[in-house]
Amino acid sequence: MICLGIESTAHTLGIGICKDGAILANEYKSYSQPFGGMKPGDAADFHSVNFDELLNAALSKANVELSQLNLIGYSKGPGMAPCLRISRTGALLLSTHYKIPLVPVHHSVAHIEIGVHECKFKDPLVVYVSGGNTQLLVKKNDHYTVLGETLDIGMGNAIDTLAREMNLEKAHGGEIERIAKTGKYIELPYTVKGMDFAFSGLVTRCAQLLPKSTPADIAYSFQETAFAMLCEAAERALMLVKKDEVLLCGGVAQNSRLQEMVRAMSEENKVKFGVASNPYNRDNGAMIAYTAYYLHNKYKGNYPDKEYSINPKYRIEDAPA
């Protein structure tokens, strides 16, 4: 079965193709936001302008023609409505024209399922850390249940805000990771409440300290503090659910220091640690293609969600998984 997956929840347009679950293509292109943030309409324009080229790039990489497709997945949400409409419209058009079944995929479920697949895991505690979301989850009765989550902003958004406070040209976690390498530790606010945590106080304190401190010290201390908070909450969740696998996934999971800390926490608790490779942790189309394939099979061709709409506020607990 050949499946096409289309992702456009935010700044990235991703088109992936898999055959019987094996990834054949994973093409993406990201709208680079101007300093200060992104206008959803501009990102959506970027996605529509690049759609055809990216689709053809994915098809030729996979050596597949549109008429050979057996299934199409698209990201239904959560995300920015103008951006979501691009993948949904593209998917609906192709599905109607070629008479191919459609699977509306929850973006976060896709971040998780591609990781489960890549790490060959069965039933992990999931540490999902990306731009808009930071959650600890387990699968229960064919849905993901949130055990703990950020009480304010997602860790990636916190990191990007910090990068903007530092006036970095590229407000991105990869830059903060690079700058942090030579930093020394400064004490910062640490907010964990059971299995929940919060990041905005940490960002505010970093912004206050910036004029007197080096960007390296701030970046380093931010990472050490935020990642330690997440590890503490994850360890508590692990004690509660007693899983023997920990999966780290989402855009921020590309950070090597975060990988190192979650791996250390897992090893101390004698459980397996897994993280997918970077192209599958950033926003991408392969995770949508794989997850659509996985869900189609799991539900024997009858995936329960037949509403081929978008849902900008789609909660993960509401998505069949």
Q: Which spans of this chain sit near ligand ATP (rule: CB under 6 A)?
A: 9-10, 107-108, 111, 130-133, 154, 156-157, 159-160, 172-174, 177, 250-252, 254-255, 282-283
Alpha carbons 111 and 122: distance in angstroms, whole number: 15
Amino acid at 168: L
Residues in Cβ contact with 52 at an 8 Å cutoff, skipping those fewer than 6 apart = none
Q: Which does 90 bind (CB under 5 to 8 A by kind): Fe ion, ligand ATP, none?
A: none
Contact 129, 258 (CB under 8 A): yes
Between helices 215-241 and 155-165, what is the axis angle to 10°? 170
From 119, 283, 291, 316, residue interacting with Fe ion (rule: CB under 5 A): 283
Q: Based on the shown chain and the rule CB under 5 A, indicate whether residue 130 belongs to the binding site for Fe ion.
A: yes
**Residues β-bridged to residue 25:** 17
Pick the piece of the chain touching Fe ion (CB under 5 A) from 79-87, 125-133, 265-273, 313-321: 125-133
Q: Which is nearer to ligand ATP, 27 or 283 (CB)?
A: 283
Single out the segment in contact with Fe ion by CB under 5 A; choices: 48-56, 120-128, 129-137, 252-260. Answer: 129-137
DSSP-assigned letter for residue 172: S
Nearer to Fe ion, 105 or 176 (CB): 105
Strands 245-249 and 125-129: parallel
Angle (CA) 82-13-219 rounded to 5° is 95
At 27, which helix (H) or strand (E)? strand 22-30
Residues 42-61 that bind Fe ion (CB under 5 A): none
Say which entry of ligand ATP, Fe ion, none residue 10 contacts (CB below 5 to 8 A, set by partner kind): ligand ATP
- CB of 160 vs ligand ATP, minimal distance in Å: 5
Q: How far is the CB of 65 from ligand ATP (least distance, A)?
A: 29
Chain residues that interact with Fe ion, rule: CB under 5 A: 130, 283
